[in-house]
Structure 1
Amino acid sequence: MKRLSASDYKRMSWKNGKGETVEIAVFPPGASMDVFEWRISMASVANDGAFSLFPEIDRTLSILSGHGMSLTIDAAAPVLLTMDSDPLRFAADVPVDATLVEGAITDLNVMTRRGRFAPSVERRAGSFSVRGCERGETVYVLATDPVTVTSAGETVKLEAMDCVLVEEDASVTAENIVCYEIRFQEAAQRSTER
């Protein structure tokens, strides 16, 4: 189990220059916005506006704080996304306009290159256990509040927005908290398992 501290996350400007994103993890390590295979980030959104476009990328978006926002994706009917909503997956290379419900929000943004990695983002609440990764899979758990997690006899204290990388053949157990379980599986690996 590897802890990633929120204080160490990388900060950078949005692609459209209208805000700032906080990069939690990216693959390959150190990859730029143009060549990443997958990426986990957070952003504070203080104003209504259009999302940046990312060719051949899919997004999965969750609300970490605030009253939520309404998304108009590719001119479809607006979708309301709040802290209680399931993570929402949509194409990042179509027009998306966001309207805040009532003030600024912080979101969790998981992006994957289409056809290379299949993402799974799940909101977990209360007491739960997350199993370790399988072959061709990478698993992270993001804590929204301070929590102590245990894995294979090891105990790690996480602060709000810290993350852990769950190692192979391990499991993470947490109690009385909302966390996000984020999995990436290589698309080629998924197709061979069917």
Structure 2
Amino acid sequence: VETSGPFSSFTGVDRTLSVLEGDGVVLDIAGQPPARLTTASVPLAFAGDAPTSAALIGGPITDLNVMTRRGRMTHAVERRALSGDIRIMPRADTTLVLAVNTGFTLLTDDRQSLGPLDTLILDRDSPELRVQSQGQGLLFVIELDRLAANH
């Protein structure tokens, strides 16, 4: 996000926003108190059709913006700061694991590494994932589910 200003409206869409890089943003969402988001904040969920504007705190930011069509899909976004090992058990139809910074190793036979903004895509049948962080790491786990009528 390069400049402050209004968000586009997305009728029937649920959104979750997280700040990955930069000083942060203050969101003014209709009917809610202003929300200050920084790289340390938990993800903020809100309706994509609610009038929303953003004021950058100190310059451009990089954000993670997850959007799903209300009534067709749901999503959940979890911020996980870690050092050491973490286990991720895919529970959703689709689980995305986004590495924000470097130093992650998948504890599998081939011990692949994840670089900044690398994303793993897992499905409900994927085995438990073990990830090791070299130092202080930051991951986002995004779960996407189809609603029953849409399977």
What's the TM-score, normalizing by structure 2? 0.86
Report if the CA contact (8 A) 1:59-1:112 is conserved.
yes
CA RMSD of aligned residues (A): 1.8
Q: Which residue of 1 aligns with 2:35?
A: 79
Report if the CA contact (8 A) 2:104-2:137 is conserved.
no
- 1-structure distance, mates of 2:6, 2:60: 15
- Can you list the C-alpha shifts for 1:57-109, whole angstroms capped at 9, x where unaligned? 11100000111110011153211111111000000112100001111111000
- 1-structure distance, mates of 2:80, 2:23: 19
Aligned-pair CA distance for 1:53: 1.0
Q: Which residue of 2 aligns with 1:133?
A: 90
- 1-structure distance, mates of 2:110, 2:79: 24
Report SS of the residue matched to 1:180: strand
**Which blocks of at least 5 consecutive residues in structure 1 are unaligned?**
1-44, 190-194
- 2-structure distance, mates of 1:179, 1:143: 5
Report if the CA contact (8 A) 1:65-1:106 is conserved.
yes
- Can you list the C-alpha shifts for 1:6-54, whole angstroms capped at 9, x where unaligned? xxxxxxxxxxxxxxxxxxxxxxxxxxxxxxxxxxxxxxx1211011111
> Which one of 98, 109, 122 corresponds to residue 54 of structure 2?
98
**Which blocks of at least 5 consecutive residues in structure 2 are unaligned?**
none
What's the TM-score, normalizing by structure 1? 0.68
State percent identity of aligned pairs.
37
Q: Mean Cα displacement is larger for which, 118-127 or 162-171?
A: 162-171
Q: Which residue of 2 aligns with 1:51?
A: 7
- 2-structure distance, mates of 1:77, 1:148: 36
Report if the CA contact (8 A) 1:151-1:170 is conserved.
no
> Which one of 100, 112, 129 corresponds to residue 171 of structure 1?
129
